[in-house]
Structure 1
């Protein structure tokens, strides 16, 4: 009797281990754009540092300025109170199961023109805030294009989060890798500033490529899964429409991903101040994906605006497989009106919101395919995507058919030439469709007239 019972027990244990992942969580935060000089009482007529924080009212008079909010403004970089409210909220969410934090750059405000000491002081303030928020967790920072170059000062600021081997490569090039001691997950943190046009042939850029190839080859040999983390994603930016990566670096990065697609469990970027994703193909088959998180900083430009956002990932901490994420946001306008403080709240859950079977290249390919069908006003899925893209800002309906095709092309055509061809093909199709409609309307008018005549006289 004991043997069957033992077999049954072992079967149950085996089944449980195969079907129940060890669940963990990690935060992805990006683009703080912290402005130490921000104040609701600020006035750009007195301070050159906040050139976009006060603007003319609708009458166009430079003498009339609207008040800034306590938690910031869509035309400004982040206030300290906004970032502190985000940190306070993150402490309340799954704090016991959060394993690490990805912090993907652009720490300092775009228009903050303080001297070097002031800039490092601002970074130190943000580092200490995250240290207090995640006192028992590791934060893995990467450099954005607004951040200082790798230095002894930055290395010392972040040495309590990074092991010695990681600090050595970070100090010389701003990149590093983290090997998880309790799992087969490896984190590869890139300095995407070295992928820019100015760094194409630089020695640090070449060193990072050689290092990346060696790290991924080693991970493949060790049967590890890899998270690639950086500031700027491959492909084309839509805010505004330009390329953060040079043509050569972009193509080389995509070749690298295709070569190692089987071990890459996820790619995580920021920079766009928008909520979107990318699908990478190899011989027309989806093989990898990248998720781009929206910024903590509010955002405004001619193409649209975004509320501040935070992202919490759910993953299998043994294998690194991403299972889901929850996107949180702050309605900035409402927070500034309210007297009770900033109320961050859940915006959506990835798999539920889009009806995804899982988080995979295939599932995100299928989602992208749904975004290309019809005009935006005809496509419920695209409207959902656009609301998420703008982090529930009211500008989410400001996108016509050509705009919708640009989103699809940016998601699925990451080579720069392929993106241009995709956009041009879509523009030609839209023009042909409009021309057909112009020809069809007179014909329908004639047909309708004939029907009326037949009804009257026959």
Structure 2
């Protein structure tokens, strides 16, 4: 007697979505250019921007039309905020109306270019007036954008949560859900957050996030999380963007659902760089990838005394994923050679890399990216050097040192300062760490967060 066994192998139903972030439109670029650093003269402002200025409309327009040309039939778009420019003057340049008009104009552009594609937006810390002061209650910007963005979002509770705190959830397709968090409420420049104690939950977002993930588990859904500001430390600089209590609470909610596998990935912006991080569970198993997408604006942050920014080119990102279970398959990064575009008076967006090719991995799951992370400790520094150059979209190709190598490696895994410092202690002396002490972390955080 023979027993015949049939093995059913299901092929992935591959879909794509775009990630657009940190456009920072400077509507004054053709005039006073309020975002440009003082040393930039009008003759140095190219048609598509300058590395020391925020984006002109020509750059933003070309980025969205490039998305349409490269991959017009995407399933959806995620748009993770920061659309208002960095004003050189701190007063009198921006207003509530300017913020709303800018958000409306970019919303209109996306609808015109992708009329049949849902865009899932979230606020950036610059998308408010006064800057970064996102409240935990109903206000003019929440109400206005709830009407403007509500036509995109397929969720009956959108109005309730969005007006309360600028966050929401929506079903992408059966079995796959998107959660959009407003992490700007936890930002170190948000003075309103100082009114909360360590145990408070502004706008009830932590409780809602926990309940939404629990419901997704019960309903056998997978989740993609988007936000503007990432939990954890900024890249290899090693400081927190969020107030520590809020960073800790957000990490606790995420950690609570690691083993369930409900969160497929997290996508954020804010840093302007191209980076990834990985959540590991208590057993050291990689669980959730966090993708930090590079900005459209080429602006770099600096002061008269200090320059933290690195030259970088504008970027747009295409993500491939399995529609059936939300598993992320690839990151496909495009960029614009800004100098060439300005010289030619023509924006030619081009492929920079495919993650599976440059890391020689089968997909961009947490486990695969963890393997890629281990390559960052190679003695020749080739892998980490390549990563650094991609981080700036080939804007900065300067050679990195041991400190930078180890900081990149540790920053990919640890979402808290003690964990980051402990990791660095394995590789070089406490005295030589770039941001080893809490004092230095505080000083650097204050300086950079003023600019971002």
Shared fold, TM over 0.5: yes
Aligned to 1:70: 47
Aligned to 1:354: 359
Aligned to 1:242: 239
Higher relative contact order (CA 8 A, sep 6+): 2
Aligned to 1:109: 85
Matched residue pairs, number?
Answer: 400
Change (3 A) 1:48 1:65: closer
Aligned to 1:334: 340
How far apart are 1:66 and its partner, in Å? 4.9
Which structure would you say has the larger Rg? 1
Matches within 5 A, 1:392-407: 392-393=394-395, 395-407=396-408
Q: TM-score, normalised by structure 2?
A: 0.83
How far apart are 1:207 and its partner, in Å? 0.4
How far apart are 1:424 and its partner, in Å? 4.5
How far apart are 1:401 and its partner, in Å? 1.3
SS of match in other structure, 1:226: strand
2:97, 2:316 → 1: CA distance? 29
Q: Is the 8 A contact 1:409 1:423 kept in 2?
A: yes
SS of match in other structure, 1:91: helix
Q: Is the 8 A contact 2:177 2:221 kept in 1?
A: yes
1:190, 1:65 → 2: CA distance? 39
Aligned to 2:440: none
1:50, 1:258 → 2: CA distance? 39
How far apart are 1:390 and its partner, in Å? 0.8
Higher helix proportion, which one? 1
**Could you say what the CA RMSD is over the residues aligned between the two structures, in angstroms?**
2.4
Structure 2 portions without partners, runs of 5+: 129-133, 135-140, 302-306, 434-452
Change (3 A) 1:306 1:51: closer
Matches within 5 A, 1:53-202: 54-55=38-39, 66-96=43-73, 98-111=74-87, 113-148=93-128, 149=134, 150-163=141-154, 164-180=156-172, 182-197=173-188, 198=191, 199=193, 201=196
Aligned to 1:308: 314
How far apart are 1:48 and its partner, in Å? 7.6
1:89, 1:135 → 2: CA distance? 15
Change (3 A) 1:240 1:33: farther
Aligned to 1:384: 386
1:239, 1:151 → 2: CA distance? 34
Aligned to 1:445: none
Deviates more, 1:236-245 or 1:147-156: 236-245
Q: Is the 8 A contact 2:238 2:407 kept in 1?
A: no
